[in-house]
């Protein structure tokens, strides 16, 4: 997730670990920015157990990239292209360093600078297999709704959207935006949802 205030200074870096695929066990530094909340290992491992370990042929968008943990994990497992969207300049520099460090990443990972919603609106519709959303938790309901609406436009039939939020989204709220929950997980303060378009949801 991106930091909510790009003007704030960073503290000492932490790190995230890529769990599976060709860059498995790679450790990547993460800036200690207020509000930056990399997806925990446990949650990422569960997500890719849900989706399958091999994502070759998948086209993915990590719309609030932050540390890049979600998008780089997908790329490590074969997804291409993987679009990482981030507005914070310091985080973008770190993401570029990750792409340069990971062998072959430059061939499959595309970095886009700017507002996530605006960048999503500029992407082609109905061609993406997986859209990953981890908006700032203090962004308010309107941000989450707008992100889910953009993701609904982007995913292909039978595609997936992954959402992290500070509270669970119930079936009624999701259905109003055209989504149905396929899987859910809570890990601490993080509520994870794997979503499919309601008219394409599995029975």
In this structure, is residue 22 part of a structural domain?
yes
Q: pLDDT tens digits, residue range 35-47?
A: 888 998 999 999 9
pLDDT of residue 198: 86
In this structure, is residue 148 part of a structural domain?
yes
Residue 1 — pLDDT band, cuts 50, 70, 90?
A: low
Domain count, the chain: 1
Q: Is 103 exposed, middle or buried (0-12, 13-18, 19+ CB in 10 A)?
A: exposed
- Provide the CATH number for the domain around residue 142: 3.40.50.150
In this structure, is residue 35 part of a structural domain?
yes
Closest listed residue to residue 199, CA positions, set 139, 158, 155, 145: 158
Per the structure, the complete domain to which residue 156 belongs is given by: 11-200
In this structure, is residue 109 part of a structural domain?
yes
In this structure, is residue 189 part of a structural domain?
yes
Which strands sit side by side in the sheet containing 128-133, from one edge to the other?
109-113, 82-86, 60-62, 128-133, 155-165, 190-197, 179-187
pLDDT of residue 152: 97
**38: alpha, beta or left? (left if phi > 0; alpha if psi -120 to 50):** beta
Q: pLDDT tens digits, residue range 75-125?
A: 999 999 999 999 999 999 999 999 999 999 999 999 999 999 999 999 999
The structure's pTM equals 0.91
Q: pLDDT tens digits, residue range 166-203?
A: 999 999 999 999 999 999 999 999 999 999 998 865 54
In this structure, is residue 62 part of a structural domain?
yes
pLDDT of residue 110: 98
In this structure, is residue 151 part of a structural domain?
yes
In this structure, is residue 4 part of a structural domain?
no
CA distance 42 to 17: 11
């Amino acid at each position: 997730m991106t930091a909510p205030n790009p003007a704030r200074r960073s503290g000492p870096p932490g790190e995230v670990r890529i769990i599976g695929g060709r860059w498995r066990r790679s450790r990547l530094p993460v800036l200690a920015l207020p509000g930056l909340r990399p997806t925990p290992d446990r949650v990422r491992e569960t997500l890719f157990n849900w989706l399958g370990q091999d994502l070759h042929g998948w086209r993915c968008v990590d719309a609030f990239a932050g540390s890049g943990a979600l998008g780089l994990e997908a790329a490590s497992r074969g997804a291409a292209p993987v679009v990482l969207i981030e507005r914070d300049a310091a985080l973008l520099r770190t993401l570029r360093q990750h792409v340069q460090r990971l062998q072959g990443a430059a061939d499959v990972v595309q970095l886009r600078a700017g507002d996530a919603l605006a960048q999503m609106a500029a992407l082609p519709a109905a061609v993406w297999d997986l859209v990953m959303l981890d908006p700032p938790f203090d962004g308010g309901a309107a941000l989450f709704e707008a992100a889910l609406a953009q993701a609904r436009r982007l995913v292909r039939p039978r595609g997936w959207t992954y959402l992290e939020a500070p509270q669970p989204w119930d079936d009624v709220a999701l259905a109003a935006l055209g989504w149905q929950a396929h899987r859910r997980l809570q890990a601490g303060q993080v509520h994870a949802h794997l979503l499919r378009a309601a008219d394409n949801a599995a029975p």
